[in-house]
Amino acid sequence: MSTQDPIYKTDALIAEDIDAYLTAHQHKTMLRFLTCGSVDDGKSTLIGRLLYDSKMIFEDQLAALEADSRRIGTQGQEIDFALLVDGLAAEREQGITIDVAYRFFATEKRKFIVADTPGHEQYTRNMVTGASTADLAVILVDARKGVLTQTRRHSYLVHLLGIRQIVLAVNKMDLVSYDQAVFDRIRADYAAFAQGIGIADFTAIPISGFKGDNITAVSANTPWYTGPALLPHLETVEVEDTRDQTGAFRMPVQWVNRPNLDFRGFCGLIASGQVRPGDAVRVLPGGKTSTVARIVALEGDRDLAVAGESVTLTLADEIDCSRGQVLVAAQDPLEVADQFEATIVWMDEAELVPGRSYWLKIGTQTVAATIHAPKYEVNVNTQEHLASKTLDLNAIGVAVVTTDRQIPFAPYAENRDLGGFILIDRHTNHTVGAGMIRFALRRAQNIHWQATDIGRTHHAAMKNQKPAVLWLTGLSGSGKSTIANIVERKLARMNRHTFLLDGDNVRHGLNKDLGFTEADRVENIRRVGEVAKLMTDAGLIVITAFISPFRSERDMVRGMMQPGEFMEIFVDTPLEVAEGRDVKGLYAKARAGQLKNFTGIDSPYEAPEAPELRIDTTETTPEQAADLIIARLIP
């Protein structure tokens, strides 16, 4: 193969004067970049080449590489650089890259962290992950094929994730005879597209990862190209790490350090701006102010800290401040809101359920959040807006997000740390989505809680009882309504003020617009939860009889109530028994295919894991069940 000798010879200083070398290298900067391209674009080959040419490949690895190249390589007897970076055994056999891999190399000027991501449509999630921490993206195009659908997809995602530096690497120039016309045409095609989606600037470089042209040095094969080779460009391109320093000071509080009563340090990574002792700061949400007393560090107090650094601050006043709150410049605070419009990337096999409660982690705080039905989904290939009721794996859409409390934030376009969030499923604990805040909705800012003079305590005291929600859950025909009725009758005899919310009845009125899809079932329960909550505020004992098949929603309702007020009662009847009873004839219809999404038949029932009470209806009469519930309510 026509290897040009690596230009990046080991620095002569290493051998001559190691101390001088070390001093020089301590001032290296760091660039994190992302490579996007499909299997055939030569992405792995390019990365392998960068590692090889910057002397990151050792003799033993090279020997293994040569052996592997002969055994399973795709380049005949020549070295297959792709084998250097295709990591896991499983994927090496499949010949594809299935996850984000991080590679490292360094030159005299910079340390590089490369996020190597697969470019296939199914792997949008991986590309988004890789892009979330990158400052620059190298988008590979095969010179023979030009700008393809996938090129547009990669560019859209990179732009969406806020990467401002883009390199269009037109690869495999050796296979088009280093033809300038080919390169110029591709660059022009790309420029037209890039402008359309808002990419202001990019750098196009003609390369051959396989042959090594324009990788470390300008190639003699492309005399018509006057720009920099790829590696020199990566070494000198302006790193945006200083950009965040120009904003106002913001630091999400990550950890409060209290070794003793005399010291209280607020630890965190500065998301934006700079901070000095004496600076006035404000705690959000809340708004209390103080001034920075010290910037404490192991090696001694510091007089300046900047965005990107992890620090410990002490304040002049003893004010409340805990993990999740954000310390900000007192005169230039952040916006605080509980409803946002956000772009959401779905990352889980199980689709988004609008209305369901997910954990939302932003900065250092985790709150409960619900996602509304998407305003639209984006076709990642064409960037068209599509109507959609949900988002499934790898889908991207724009939706309204409501959080259960006010959170300080900045739009993602301004700051990644203050505007990027992840969504976590409350039961599987998987990271199911990622979001980028666009803006807060005005509704959130304009609707305030109206304080009322007669509060919930007063309401309950007048009724001489403790409000509660007795939440009966179980299959259709399990006996929920029967038991609920008896409970209410018995409580009435005890002079308790109650209200029974029954699944069927609610669907005649409040929820008559809802069907039985997963999303509608979630909304059904959410509304019932809100109504039950209002009734407990009124001091009532609320009895509900709903199948409520999903744990997430039952937990969501539990979360709405005051601690101790929610009693989950599992009316446990085996499916055969409930189906055998079939009081309403629904099971027969479901079995006959006339009723869709019927719980237990073609829609799952998630049994409670730790209910306050479980009633086995095969051993307990409804009368006995009611007594058990009341005994638990009024001990």
- List, by residue number, the catalytic residues: 548
Binding mask 440-459 for other proteins (x = CB under 8 A): --------------------
The C-alpha atoms of residue 267 and residue 467 are separated, in whole angstroms, by: 41
- Within 77-96, the residues that bind other proteins by CB under 8 A are 84-85, 87-90, 92
Place of tokens 């509080």: 253
Question: Any idea how long the chain is?
Answer: 635
**Residue 629, phi then psi, degrees to nearest 5:** -65, -45
Residue span binding other proteins (CB under 8 A) among the ranges 1-9, 268-276, 448-456, 480-488: 268-276
Residue 472, classed as helix, strand or coil, is strand
Task: State which of residues 43, 49, 103, 233 lies at the interface with other proteins (CB under 8 A).
Answer: 103
- Looking at 7, 39, 113, 175, which residue binds other proteins (CB under 8 A)? 113
- Report the nearest approach of other proteins to the CB of residue 178 (Å): 32
Minimum CB distance to other proteins smaller for 43 or for 497 = 43
CB of 10 to other proteins, least distance (A): 7
User: Minimum distance from CB of 17 to other proteins (Å)?
Assistant: 9
Contact with other proteins (CB under 8 A): which of 59, 317, 513, 619?
59
Peptide bond into 277 cis (omega under 30): no
Query: At CA 195, angle to CA 194 and CA 197, rounded to 5?
Result: 70
Smaller CB separation from other proteins, 253 or 460 = 253
Minimum distance between the CB of residue 36 and other proteins, rounded to whole angstroms?
16
User: Which of 221, 274, 482, 617 contacts other proteins by CB under 8 A?
Assistant: 274
Return d(Cα 322, Cα 268) in angstroms, integer: 11
Q: Is the Cβ–Cβ distance between 254 and 266 less than 8 Å?
A: no
Q: How many CB atoms lie within 10 A of CB 357?
A: 23
Pick out residues in 325-364 that bind other proteins (CB under 8 A): 347, 359, 361-362, 364
Stretch that binds other proteins, among 99-107, 152-160, 452-460, 560-568 (CB under 8 A): 99-107
Q: Considering only residues 116-175, where is the footprint of other proteins by CB under 8 A? A: 116, 125-126, 128-129, 132-133
Site for other proteins contains 280 (CB under 8 A)? no
Binding of residue 487 to other proteins (CB under 8 A) = no
Encoded one letter per residue, x for contact with other proteins by CB under 8 A and - for no contact, window 11-30 reads: x--xx--xx-xx--xxxxxx
Cα(50)–Cα(185) distance, integer angstroms: 26
**Binding region for other proteins (CB under 8 A) out of 54-62, 330-338, 448-456, 564-572:** 54-62
What secondary structure does DSSP assign to 136-205, as a single string?
EEEEEEETTT-S-HHHHHHHHHHHHTT--EEEEEEE-GGGGTT-HHHHHHHHHHHHHHHHHHT----EEE
CB of 594 vs other proteins, minimal distance in Å: 39
Number of residues that bind other proteins (CB under 8 A): 83
Residue 319 binds to other proteins (criterion: CB under 8 A): no
CA separation for the pair 197, 205 (Å, rounded): 21
SS (H, E, C) 474-500: CCCCCCHHHHHHHHHHHHHHCCCCEEE
489 binds other proteins (CB under 8 A): no
Across 321-430, where does the E strand assignment appear? 326-329, 335-346, 357-362, 365-371, 376-378, 385-386, 396-409, 420-424
Q: What is the number of other CB atoms lying within 10 angstroms of the CB of residue 457?
A: 11
Please, which of residues 362-401 interact with other proteins by CB under 8 A? 362, 364
Pattern of binders to other proteins over 225-254, x per CB under 8 A? Answer: --------------x-xx--xx-------x
Residue 303 or 453: the one with the smaller Cβ distance to other proteins is 303
Helix (H, G, I), strand (E, B) or coil at 221: coil
Strand partners, 294: 314
Return the residues of window 295-314 that contact other proteins according to CB under 8 A. 296-298, 304, 306, 308-310, 312
Which contacts (CB < 8 Å, 24+ apart) does range 438-442 have? 438/340, 438/341, 438/342, 438/343, 438/398, 438/411, 438/412, 438/413, 439/340, 439/341, 439/411, 440/335, 440/337, 440/339, 440/340, 440/409, 441/337, 441/339, 441/340, 441/341, 441/400
Is residue 599 within the footprint of other proteins (CB under 8 A)?
Answer: no
Tell the smallest beta-carbon distance from residue 169 to other proteins (Å): 21
- Residue from 193, 255, 499, 516 that binds other proteins (CB under 8 A)? 255
490 binds other proteins (CB under 8 A): no
N-to-C CA span, the chain: 85
Please identify, using beta-carbon distances, which residue of 258 and 458 lies nearer to other proteins.
258
